[in-house]
Amino acid sequence: MARPKKWRKVCCLPKQNRFGPMGNKTTDIVTMSIDEYETIRLIDAEAFTQEECARQMNIARTTVQGIYNAARGKLAEVLIHGKMLVIEGGDYKLCNGTEEYCSCGGCHKHRCRDMSDANSI
């Protein structure tokens, strides 16, 4: 029997979930999961170490490393080959702001509400 997947804690959904080349109607789509997006956000935008990112997402550092490497590969593919990026899906649960190691101060309830609402349109 396969081991059940562990949910990854995500602070907020992206403000936009589709990116692509302007003026070029490409049909090539690369899908990045929400948890891959979260590792990029935490490590590259928030300057977390992989260990801090792992603690924040409630997963092992080696898992963060694998997710992060996959996300960086997808970003490279999109940028180099002019493909469209769609951010959706994955094994995640939104942070409720009350969990241990929440460095975002209740982000889902406060800071990132705008980002969640943008995706529901």
Closest CA to 84 of 21, 17, 35: 21
- Cα–Cα distances (Å) from 117 to 49, 75, 89, 91, in that order, read 29, 24, 17, 20
pLDDT at 100: 60
Quick: pLDDT tens for 2-50: 777 788 999 989 999 999 988 877 789 999 999 999 999 999 999 999 9
pLDDT at 101: 56
Quick: pLDDT tens for 71-110: 999 999 999 999 999 999 999 999 887 766 566 654 544 4
- Sequence ranges of the domains in the chain: 29-119
